[in-house]
Amino acid sequence: MELQLALDLVDIPGAKKLVKEVEAYVDIVEIGTPVVINEGLRAVKEIKEAFPNLKVLADLKVMDAAGYEVMKASEAGADIVTILGVAEDMTIKGAVEEAKKQNKKILVDMIGVKDIAGRAKELDAFGVDYICVHTGYDLQAVGKNSFEDLNTIKSVVKNAKVAVAGGIKLETLPEVIKAKPDLVIVGGGITGAEDKQAVAAEMQKLIKQG
Ligand SMILES: O=C(CO)[C@H](O)[C@H](O)COP(=O)(O)O
């Protein structure tokens, strides 16, 4: 089980400062969608150059023209690129094809997908690397989480790794770990903590204990 730190509300210097604090405790650094919007793929490039031992995920949430966008993120140094599960099948297949060419991975974000089980089976057959259930900020604001969806994809996905994101905190992490995802994605649960290093360290400890 791996831990991914999601950076959403920082600029590039802020991202570097944050990663430096917690780099010993995380496996993957996510350059979140708002950071890519504000700073471009330069943020991916600079974080990868500053922390070559960490994997970097570009949260592009690709919806179309995936071959091109995966290629550009790969050139910037991303190890993993996200695409939306609601995208057309052709788009998903294009992302997988380009990622294979570039020796990179594709994570599918299931945000907005209504038939989680059915779509996860299809995506798994397309050869994506990760399938991630995700409660975005707008649904977190009305008290939703992805714990039930995590169990759903765990029961149907045979090949891809299974991931979970959306409002996970130190207090809710044990419940997430019980479902045994391959990847746990945490943003505000670490970046919003007063002692980010202590929270990241505790999260890594719980994850290692399984
Ligand atoms: O992709 C995202 C929002 O669209 C976030 O990166 C993801 O939800 C993790 O952040 P948090 O733990 O703060 O919810």
Q: Is a pLDDT exceeding 90 seen at residue 210?
A: no
Cα of 62 vs centre of ligand 1, distance in Å, is 16
Q: For the beta carbon of residue 107, count every other beta carbon within 10 angstroms.
A: 28
pLDDT tens digit sequence for 32-85: 999 999 999 999 999 999 999 999 999 999 999 999 999 999 999 999 999 999
What are the sequence ranges of the domains in the chain? Answer: 2-209
Cα of 3 vs centre of ligand 1, distance in Å, is 13
Ligand 1, from 8, 31, 63, 146: best to mutate by most atoms within 8 Å of Cβ?
A: 8
Query: Domain 2-209 belongs to what architecture?
Result: Alpha-Beta Barrel (3.20)
- Given the CA of residue 134, which atom of ligand 1 is nearest to it? 8
CA distance 22 to 128: 28
Percent of the chain clearing pLDDT 70 (strictly above): 100
Please calculate the CA angle 137-139-141 and round it to the nearest 5 degrees. 70
pLDDT tens digit sequence for 132-179: 999 999 999 999 999 999 999 999 999 999 999 999 999 999 999 999
Rounded to two decimals, what is the model's pTM? 0.98
Confirm whether the ipTM is greater than 0.90. yes
Cα of 167 vs centre of ligand 1, distance in Å, is 7
